[in-house]
Amino acid sequence: MADSAAARKKIFRREKPAKKQVRAKRRSIGEMDTAFLLIVLILLAFGLIMVFSASYANALYYDHDSLLYIKKQGLFAVVGIVAMLLISKIDYRWYKKFVLPIYLFGLGLLVVVLFFEHNGARRWINLGPLGTFQPSEYMKLAVIIIFATMIAANYERMRTGYGFWPFFALLIPVVGLMMLEPHLSGTIIICAIAGVMMFVGGTKPKYFLLMLAALAAMVVAVILIKDVSYITSRIHNWLDPFGNENIHDKVWQTCQSLIAIGSGGIMGLGLGGSQQKYLYLPEPQNDFIFAIVCEELGLIGAILVITLFVLLVYRGFSIANQAPDKFGAMLAIGITVQIGIQALLNIAVVTNAIPNTGISLPFFSYGGTALLMQLAEMGILLNISRHSVIEKP
Amino acid sequence: MAKIKQANQPMTNKMKFRLNRVVALIMAVVLLYVSTRLVEAAVVKSDFYQEYAAKQQMSTQVINANRGSIYSTNMTTLAQSATVWTVVLAPSIVKNDKVYVEIAAIEDGQKEALASSLSGILDMDKAKIMKRLESDQRFVSIKGSLKDSEVEQIKAFSENGNSCVMLAKEAVAKGLSDILELDYEDVLEQAYQNNQYEVIKKKVEKTVADEVRTLISENGFTFISLIEDTKRYYPNNELASNVLGFTGTDNQGLYGVELEYDSILQGTNGKIISATDGLGNTIPTSYEQKYDAVDGNSIVLTIDENIQRFAEKQVEEIMTLHEPEGGALIIVMDVKTGGILAMANSSNYDPNNPSEIFSEQLKSTLESSSEGKSEDEIADIKSQLRSEQWGNKAIGWLYEPGSTFKVVTASAALETGVATMSSTYHCSGVLNVAGTKIHCNKRTGHGTLDFKGAIVESCNPAFMAMGAALGPHNFFDFFEKFGLTEGTGIDLPGEAQKSLYYTEDKLGPVELASASFGQTSAISPIQLITAVSAAVNGGYLMQPHVLKEVLDQNGNVIQTTSTDVKRQVISEDTSAKIRECLEAMIQKNKTAYVKGYRIGGKSGTSQKANKSEEHVSSFVGFAPVEDPQIAVLVVADNPTAGSYYGSAVCGPALGSVIKDTLSYLGVAPEYSDEDLENMEVSVPSVIGSTVADAKNTLAKKSLKIKKVGDGDTVVDQMPRNGSIADGGTVIVYTEKNSTAEKVTVPNVVGMTPSAANQELVNAGLNVSLDGSSDVSGNVKVISQSVAEGKEVPIGTIVTIQYAVEVVD
C-alpha cells in the first residue's frame, strides 16, 4: 500500500499548470470544431432512424407499441445533446483534478454491478425507469482520463518501465472485475483503448509483445481448462455458421445477420423494408443494428455509415493533433479510438469477421445510458477542440 | 537551458507519427478486412443468403385445384369434387389448467348444486358460475390458470359422478368426438400427445366442419384447425363404375377414366406465398404473392346415363337368371363413331367407397372362400376380389368369341369372293378336317344351306368350308384388318393389349377350321364389338372411345374427340349383305327379336379352351338394320343356371337393350304386319318350368318377367292366361304361399292408348287392348275394365277400350 501511494505521488508530481509556452499559442476559449459536431449529429440522427426501423417489429410484437424504443432513445438523445453542449463548455483540464476519484468510482461501480444479474451476466445496473447502466461504459472514460493524465505527466519517462508498469497496475483491477461479470468484449475494448494510448504515449513495443505473449499463454490456459471440443465447435461455428443442418441457437444471430446483409445486397430493400427484423434477428435494435442498416439500405448505406465513422475518427485525431497539451491530445485520442474501435469491432461481428461477442455500435445501437455517455464524451472532445492551436509554419 | 514542460506542450512529432501513421494504418487495415467481409456478405454471397432468407421468410400455402367433373353425354354428373376439411389438433398448446362444464351433460335440476360445488372448489362467486351455466353453448369455461391443487380437486370431483365437469383436454376430446362421431378415448389419447399436429379426422363434410367451427369460436379452442381438402363424389354410386374408376386420398386418379384423363382433370394447385415473421406468423401489410389454382378441366363421356342404366339392368337380369360364374357384361357402341354408349359389368362397385366388396356375386365368393381362413388369408382374398371389381372385363378379358366370330369369317369370305350369297354348303353334322372330326352344333346335320342359311343356322361345317376357301393368308389378313390382333386403343386403362391367335404361318387346317367358327382364338369383348361394328356399318373400323369432349372451367368445349376411322375393312356392299344375313338370324331366332325394330345379330356359345365344360354365352347385335346406329354385345361368362346357349342367356338382354336404347334415342318403331298382328300376345303358362326357361319362353313372346320369391321353379304366375299388350310383364311366383303384391289401379280414361298402356304398366299391371287395330289416330281410352282405385294383384290384366274421340 505504501509503495503504491508513493508511486502515485511520483506519477502525479508533475501535473502543475504550465506557465510558459514555446511554440503554441493558446486561445483562451475558441470556437469548437463544427465539422466534428456535424458528423456527430448526422450519426446520431441516422442512428435514431435506424433504431426506430429496427425496433419496430419487436416493439410491436412484444410491447404492443411500435414507438416504444424510439421514444426512449429519442429522449436520451435530446438529453445527450444538451449534456454534450454543456460539457463542451467545461474546460477539459478540470477533470485532471478528479482523476483518482473518477477512477476509483469506476472500480466501485464494477464491484456494485456484480450484485445485479441479468441474462446470466452481471454487466448492467438497473436504474429503474431510466433503464440500465453498464459500468464498463463509464470505466472506459475513466481509464481514458487517468491514462491521459499519466501519459501527459510522465511523458519523458514513457520509454522506460514507467511507461508500462503503472498503467498495467491500473488496468489489472479493471480487467479482473470485468472478467468476473463476465464481460469479455468490454475488457477487450478497454485494453485496446489503453494499448493505443500507451503506444502513442511512447510505451516501448517490447511491452506490447510481452502482453501478447501473456495473452497467448492465457488462451492456451483457457483451452486446457475448457473442453477442446468447445473451442473447436466455437471456431467451426465462426468459420462456417451455415455448416450445420439447421441454424441452431449458437449461430442463430450470426446467420440471421448474414442473411440480412445478403438480402440487402448492394441497393438494400429500402428503409423500413427489412424482413429479418421480424423476429428473426434477435433484438435487431441492439448489437446487430448494422445488419438491418445493410438489409434496408444495402452496401451503399453501410459504406455511408462507415464513412461517417471514418470522418469522425479523422476529425477526432485532428483535434488530438491540435490539442494545446498532451493531456488534451491523449484524452481526444482515447475517446476517438474508443468510438472507432467499437464501430470496427461491431461491424466485424455483424459481418462475422470475428466471432460473435456483444459490442454495440456507437450512436446506433439502442441503449439510452450508453448514448448519454457517448454524447458526453463528444462534449469533452468538442471542448478540446475549442482549445486548438494552429501550428506555426 | 530551461527544460520545456512536455506535459503542457502539444504532442511531439513522434507521438503524431505514431498516431497519424501507425495507429491510423492499423485501423485502416482492420477496416479493410472488415469491409471485405461486408462486401462478401452483401455482394458475393448475396444469392446464397437471399435464398436462405426466402426459405425462412416465405411461407407457402397450397391452394388445392378443384378436380374437374366427369359428365355423361347427357351432361348428368358422374363424378365431381367437393370441399371437405381435415380436423387437426395442436395438443401441445392445450393447457390443462382450465375447467369446463358440458352444459348438456348436467343432470336435470343439478345446476344449482353444481354451481355451489364449483364455487367451493374454485373459490368463485356462485352467482357468476350459475350465470355461465345458463349458456346454450356446448361447453362453458368456468375458470382458467388453475393451481395444481385445484386441478387435482377438479379431477377428483369430475370422477366422482360429475362427468360434466372437465379439464381443457377432456373438453376438447369430448367436443370433437361428439361432433366427429369418434371414440372419446381415442381422441383423448391424441389430446394428451405432446406435439403440434394431430390429425383427428379427414374428409369432414361442410355441415360437420361448421359444427367444429362453432366449437372453436364459442370456446376459444384455437388449437383446433380445419384444413381444406377435396373429396370426390360419385352421385350415381355404382353406375358405370368400371368405366369411371375412382381417386385416391391425394385426389389422384387410380382406375378408369379418372386415371386415363388424370392430367386433364387434375388442374394445377395454386399457392399463396406470404412473408412470415420468425415465429411463423404472416406479417400483415407485407409482401404476399398469390398464384391462383387452375382448376382441372371437366370431361364429357360418350357414355349415356340412360343407356348405361338399360345395360346395367340387363346385366343384373342375366346374373339373377343364369348365375354366370364369371359374371356378365354388356357393351353398347355407336357404330358410326365408335363412341361407347354403355359399358356394364356385373363386378361393379361404389366408387364412393371402392374398397368395399360390392356386387352380390363377389360378396358371396368372399363369404364362401373365407370360411375357416386366417385374417391374413381373408385380407388376401379381399384384395384379389377388389382388383377384380376395379377391373373392366369388357376390355381386359380374353375369351373365345364362338359363333359371334362368324360375322368376321362371313365378311372375309364375301369380301374376298370365296363365297357369295348364292354359295351353298352341305352339312352332315360332322366334318373331318385333316383327320380330326369336328362336329356341328346340330349333330344330325343341317343338310344343304345357302350362305344366309349358314349364318342363320350357325353351321360350323359351312364356316369351316369358308375358312378353308379363304386359306390361312386371307383369313389372317382379315383377322388383322378387323383389329383383332392388337388392343383397340380405347381410352381406358387396363385393355388387354395382346389377344391370343394363330398367326398365318401357324394356321394349320385344323386350327384354321376351328378359328373360322370362333374357337381357338381369344379376343376381348371390345375387340369383337369393334369388329362387328365395322362389319355392319359399311365396313369402317372405328376407334372406340369414351371421351366425347373436354370442357374448361366455364363449360366451354375446348377439345372434341373426332370420329376416327382406322380403315375400311370390307366394302359397303359386303356390309349390306352381312346386315341382311344377320337380320335373318334374328328373325329366325326370336330371343333377341323386338317388335317394331329391325335387328341383326349373331349369338355365340363357346367352350373355354382349357375348361371344355365351361361356356361363354354371348350375343352380338345391331340396329336398326336399314341404318345401323348401335351395336350391342352381351356376354355371360359360364352361366350355371338354365340354358348356357348364347341365344337363350343373352338374346333377351340384347333385344331389351336395343329396344330401350332405340326408343330412347327417338328411333320410331315401324311395325311389320306380323308385328301388328302380334301386338297383343297370349300369355303362355310357365308354371312348373324353371325361372330361366320361363324367361326364355316369355321373351320369345316379347313378354317381360318379374320374379317373386327365392325359388327356382315357377309355382304360379299372373296373369295365368289371356292376352296382354306387347311388352307386358308376367309375374312369376317361385314360392308357394307367397302373398301377391297388391297395386292400385290408376285412372287411364281420357288418355291415349299408349299413355294409358304406359301408366298401367308403370303401376305393375298388364294391358289388354280392345278397339280398332289402328292406334295411330286421334283415339282416347273410353273405359277401363278395373275401376280406378281398386287394389288388385300385381300383373293383373286391365282391358282398356278406346275409340276415336269425337269433339262435339
Contact B39 A299 (CB under 8 A): yes
pLDDT at A14: 47
For B645, what's the count of Cα atoms within 13 Å in the CB-facing half-sphere?
14
The band of B122, judged by pLDDT with boundaries at 50, 70 and 90, is confident
**To the nearest 10°, the Cα dihedral for B721, B725, B728, B732?**
0
Contact A348 B34 (CB under 8 A): yes
- Tell which residue, B593, B775, B596, B774, has the closest CA to residue B670: B596
| C-alpha distances out from residue A27 to A324, A326, A390, B618, Å | 9, 16, 10, 126
SS (H, E, C) chain A: CHHHHHHHHHHHCCCCCCCCCCCCCCCCCCCCCHHHHHHHHHHHHHHHHHHHHHHHHHHHHHHCCCCHHHHHHHHHHHHHHHHHHHHCCCCHHHHHHHHHHHHHHHHHHHHHHHHCCECCECCCEECHHHCEECHHHHHHHHHHHHHHHHHHHCHHHCCCHHHCHHHHHHHHHHHHHHHHCCCHHHHHHHHHHHHHHHHHHCCCHHHHHHHHHHHHHHHHHHHHHCCHHHHHHHHHHHHCHHHCCCCCHHHHHHHHHHHHHHHHCCCCCCCCCCCCCCCCCCCCCCCCHHHHHHHHHHHHHHHHHHHHHHHHHHHHHHHHHHCCCHHHHHHHHHHHHHHHHHHHHHHHHHCCCCCCCCCCCCCCCCCHHHHHHHHHHHHHHHHHHHCCCCCCC
Measured distance CA(B216)–CA(B225) in Å, rounded: 8
Q: What is the mean pLDDT of residues B592-621?
A: 88
CA of B190, closest CA in chain A: separation in Å? 29
Q: A375: exposed, middle or buried (C-beta count within 10 Å: 0-12, 13-18, 19+)?
A: buried
Residue B222 and residue B263 in one domain: no
Q: pLDDT digits over A69-85, tens only?
A: 999 999 999 999 999 99
SS (H, E, C) B503-534: CHHHCCHHHHHHHHCCCCCEECHHHHHHHHHH
Percentage with pLDDT > 70 across chain A: 91
Main-chain dihedrals φ then ψ at residue B79, nearest 5 degrees = -150, 140
Number of domains chain A is built from: 1
Residue B268 and residue B364 in one domain: no
Residue B724 has pLDDT above 90, yes or no: no
Residue A2 has pLDDT above 80, yes or no: no
Please check whether residue B243 lies inside any domain of the structure. Answer: yes
Residue A22 has pLDDT above 80, yes or no: no
Q: What is the mean pLDDT of residues B215-222?
A: 85
Please check whether residue A316 lies inside any domain of the structure. Answer: yes
For B147, what's the count of Cα atoms within 13 Å in the CB-facing half-sphere?
5
Which residue matches cell numbers 467481409?
A: B37
pLDDT at A240: 86
| C-alpha distances out from residue B507 to B404, B418, B514, B515, Å | 20, 18, 10, 9
Main-chain dihedrals φ then ψ at residue B724, nearest 5 degrees = -130, 165
Residue B114 and residue B161 in one domain: yes
Which contiguous run of DSSP H or E holds residue B568?
strand B565-568
User: Which of B331, B357, B385 is at the close of a domain?
Assistant: B385
Contact B41 A258 (CB under 8 A): yes
Please check whether residue B338 lies inside any domain of the structure. Answer: no
Contact B7 A348 (CB under 8 A): no
Residue B627 has pLDDT above 50, yes or no: yes
Q: Report the residue of chain B nearest A157, measured CA to CA.
A: B6
- Give the CATH number for residue B268: 3.90.1310.10
The band of B435, judged by pLDDT with boundaries at 50, 70 and 90, is confident
Q: Report the residue of chain B nearest A255, measured CA to CA.
A: B49
CA of A364, closest CA in chain B: separation in Å? 18
Main-chain dihedrals φ then ψ at residue B61, nearest 5 degrees = -110, 125
Residue B657 has pLDDT above 70, yes or no: yes
Percentage with pLDDT > 90 across chain B: 43
Please check whether residue B6 lies inside any domain of the structure. Answer: no
Q: Please give the grid coordinates belonging to residue A189.
A: 475494448
Residue B150 and residue B257 in one domain: no
Q: Please give the grid coordinates belonging to residue B127.
A: 352467482
- What residues are paired with B79 via a beta bridge? B70
- Tell which residue, B689, B804, B708, B792, has the closest CA to residue B746: B792
Q: Return the higher-pLDDT residue of B493 and B249.
A: B493
The band of B326, judged by pLDDT with boundaries at 50, 70 and 90, is very high
Please check whether residue A53 lies inside any domain of the structure. Answer: yes
Q: Return the higher-pLDDT residue of A292 and A181.
A: A292
Q: Please give the grid coordinates belonging to residue B477.
A: 389378313
Measured distance CA(B79)–CA(B168) in Å, rounded: 42
The boundaries of the domain holding residue B754 are 683-808
The boundaries of the domain holding residue A115 are 33-386
Residue B226 and residue B264 in one domain: no
Percentage with pLDDT > 90 across chain A: 63
CA of A59, closest CA in chain B: separation in Å? 14
Measured distance CA(B241)–CA(B243) in Å, rounded: 5
Measured distance CA(A136)–CA(A119) in Å, rounded: 17
Test the B interface: residue of A261, A307, A338 with most B CBs within 10 Å: A261
Contact A326 B10 (CB under 8 A): yes
CA of B342, closest CA in chain A: separation in Å? 58
Measured distance CA(A374)–CA(A378) in Å, rounded: 6
Number of domains chain B is built from: 4
Sort out which chain A residues have CB atoms less than 8 A from B282's CB and list them: none
Contact B15 A200 (CB under 8 A): yes
Residue B198 and residue B110 in one domain: yes
Q: pLDDT digits over B330-380, tens only?
A: 999 999 999 999 999 999 999 999 999 998 888 888 888 888 888 888 899
Residues with Cβ within 8 Å of B114's Cβ and at least 6 positions away in sequence, in order, are B101, B106, B133, B162, B164, B165
Please check whether residue B622 lies inside any domain of the structure. Answer: no
Handedness of CA A119, A122, A123, A128 (dihedral sign): positive
Please check whether residue B627 lies inside any domain of the structure. Answer: no
pLDDT at A357: 87
Q: pLDDT digits over B730-784, tens only?
A: 888 887 766 677 888 888 877 776 677 778 877 878 777 765 444 444 567 777 8
Please check whether residue A22 lies inside any domain of the structure. Answer: no
Residue B256 and residue B210 in one domain: no
pLDDT at B658: 94
Residue B70 and residue B140 in one domain: no
Lowest mean pLDDT among A224-228, B79-83, B471-475: A224-228
Residue A16 has pLDDT above 60, yes or no: no
pLDDT at B375: 87
- Give the CATH number for residue B806: 3.30.10.20
Residue B219 and residue B250 in one domain: no
**To the nearest 10°, the Cα dihedral for B51, B54, B60, B65?**
-50
Q: B225: exposed, middle or buried (C-beta count within 10 Å: 0-12, 13-18, 19+)?
A: middle
Handedness of CA A389, A393, B2, B3 (dihedral sign): positive
Contacts by B41-45, CB closer than 8 A, 24 or more apart: B41/A258, B41/A261, B41/A262, B41/A294, B41/A351, B41/A352, B42/A261, B42/A262, B42/A264, B42/A265, B42/A266, B42/A294, B42/A298, B42/A299, B42/A302, B43/A265, B43/A266, B43/A299, B45/A258, B45/A262
Can you tell me whether residue B602 is helix, strand or coil? strand
Residue B173 and residue B250 in one domain: no
Main-chain dihedrals φ then ψ at residue B99, nearest 5 degrees = -110, 135
Q: Please give the grid coordinates belonging to residue B601.
A: 345379330
pTM for the model: 0.62
Mean pLDDT taken over chain A: 88
Contact B8 A352 (CB under 8 A): no
- Tell which residue, B644, B649, B635, B648, has the closest CA to residue B612: B644
Residue B743 and residue B695 in one domain: yes
Measured distance CA(B223)–CA(B211) in Å, rounded: 15
Q: pLDDT digits over B180-212, tens only?
A: 999 999 999 998 887 777 889 988 988 999 999
Measured distance CA(A56)–CA(A68) in Å, rounded: 8
pLDDT at A252: 87
* CB of B481 closer than 8 Å to CB of B530: no
The band of B644, judged by pLDDT with boundaries at 50, 70 and 90, is confident
Q: Report the residue of chain A nearest B33, measured CA to CA.
A: A353
Contact B42 A261 (CB under 8 A): yes
Q: Which of B23, B30, B45 sits opposite A200 (nearest CB)?
A: B23
The band of B675, judged by pLDDT with boundaries at 50, 70 and 90, is low
The band of B393, judged by pLDDT with boundaries at 50, 70 and 90, is very high
In 10 A of CB B415, how many CB atoms? 23
Q: Return the higher-pLDDT residue of B619 and B117.
A: B619
Which residue matches cell numbers 287392348?
A: B769
Contact B277 A279 (CB under 8 A): yes
